[in-house]
């Protein structure tokens, strides 16, 4: 059982042995009126979802969870919640596991150049206002990535693979929820610059040459020179012009 020292994030936690996707369950609860801070956790997911329609392998031993948020902000701020969550995950893995972590824009938490955690933020907008947001967090904790399919194994790692031991998932979730509440409160208080500066320090993307794969097959190359106040990536293209990237798959070169 999870007992975080938070005031509202995780005040209600729904735990399941197996769901299709914790983001789907959270969405259903949010539609039924579940309040901000409601958390859904599952031991396994039969149809875990990654970004860009990719499946997310979710075996037992990992942390698969979703948080319902109802921030009163413009829909264009939803991308920032991914960065808020990334900062909270990074703090947690650094403080609790002593790991050096980095972030690949917008949402991958890396150890070295391997991914240990992914974040799937789904904003639900109605009449041009943000009704609620589901933030899904998948952390490869006590799993062995050697069992992953070929195409995913290469770029992935887990806490177990890094630390050579199992970690206490319940305690890690508690610390994460505490860190999350902290960073999310800053977000709601408008302390965006503070959050972005912590994010920039963790970022492995800024200062690198990147390739962005957009929808419809468009590919953009350039140097990532910054992020703006909405969390969008700023690329300097080879002709020197700047381009703002709101979404797309980012590959470091
Ligand atoms: C990505 O990096 O592509 C995002 C992965 C997000 C995975 C988590 S696991 C909990 C939540 N439920 C899902 O179906 N996906 C997210």
As for the ipTM of the complex, it is 0.99
Reported as a single tens digit per residue, the pLDDT across 61-118 is: 999 999 999 999 999 999 999 999 999 999 999 999 999 999 999 989 999 999 999 9
CA 33 to chain centre: 23
Under 8 Å between Cβ of 16 and 43: yes
**Interval 174-188 mean pLDDT:** 98
Test site for ligand 1: of 23, 53, 121, most ligand atoms within 8 A of the Cβ? 23
d(C-alpha 227, C-alpha 166), whole Å? 35
d(C-alpha 188, C-alpha 194), whole Å? 12
Pairing of strands 129-139, 114-126: antiparallel
Instruction: Output the pLDDT for position 138.
Output: 97
Q: 242 C-alpha to center of ligand 1: Å?
A: 31
> Which pTM value belongs to this model?
0.96
Nearest alpha carbon, ligand 1 atom 15 = 49
Reported as a single tens digit per residue, the pLDDT across 142-158 is: 999 988 888 877 799 99
Q: Which atom of ligand 1 is nearest to the CA of 48?
A: 14
Pairing of strands 249-252, 102-104: unpaired
**C-alpha pair distances (Å), 229 with each of 93, 164, 190, 251:** 25, 39, 11, 22
Q: Taking 90 as the threshold, does the pLDDT of residue 188 lie above it?
A: yes
DSSP state of 155: T
Write down the H helix ranges in the chain. 22-31, 78-97, 150-153, 159-163, 169-188, 192-202
Q: Which residues pair with 40 in a beta bridge?
A: 14, 66
Under 8 Å between Cβ of 204 and 102: yes
Q: Which atom of ligand 1 is nearest to the CA of 45?
A: 14
Under 8 Å between Cβ of 180 and 2: no
**C-alpha pair distances (Å), 159 with each of 44, 67, 114, 116, 234:** 17, 22, 11, 7, 31
Structural domains in the chain plus CATH codes: 13-202 (3.30.930.10), 209-252 (2.30.30.100)
């Amino acid at each position: 059982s999870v007992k975080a020292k938070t005031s509202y994030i995780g005040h209600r936690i729904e735990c399941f042995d197996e769901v299709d996707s914790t983001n789907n369950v959270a969405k259903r609860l949010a539609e039924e009126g579940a309040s901000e801070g409601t958390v859904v956790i599952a031991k396994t997911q039969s149809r875990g979802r990654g970004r860009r329609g990719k499946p997310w392998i979710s075996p037992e031993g990992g942390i698969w969870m979703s948080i319902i948020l109802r921030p009163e902000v413009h829909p264009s701020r939803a991308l920032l919640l991914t960065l808020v969550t990334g900062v909270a995950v990074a703090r947690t893995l650094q403080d609790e596991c002593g790991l050096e972590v980095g972030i690949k824009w917008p949402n991958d938490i890396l150890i070295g150049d391997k991914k240990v955690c992914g974040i799937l933020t789904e904003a639900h907008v109605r009449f041009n206002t943000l009704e609620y947001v589901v933030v899904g967090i998948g952390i490869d904790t006590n799993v062995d990535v050697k069992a992953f399919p070929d195409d995913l194994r290469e770029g992935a790692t887990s806490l177990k693979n890094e630390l050579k031991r199992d970690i206490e998932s319940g305690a890690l979730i508690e610390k994460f929820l505490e860190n999350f509440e902290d960073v999310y409160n800053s977000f709601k208080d408008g302390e965006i610059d503070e959050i972005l500066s912590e994010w920039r320090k963790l970022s492995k993307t800024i200062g690198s040459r990147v390739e962005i794969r957009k929808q419809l097959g468009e590919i953009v190359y350039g140097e990532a020179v910054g992020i703006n106040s909405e969390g969008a990536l700023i690329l300097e293209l080879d002709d020197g012009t700047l381009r703002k990237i709101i979404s797309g798959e980012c590959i470091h070169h």
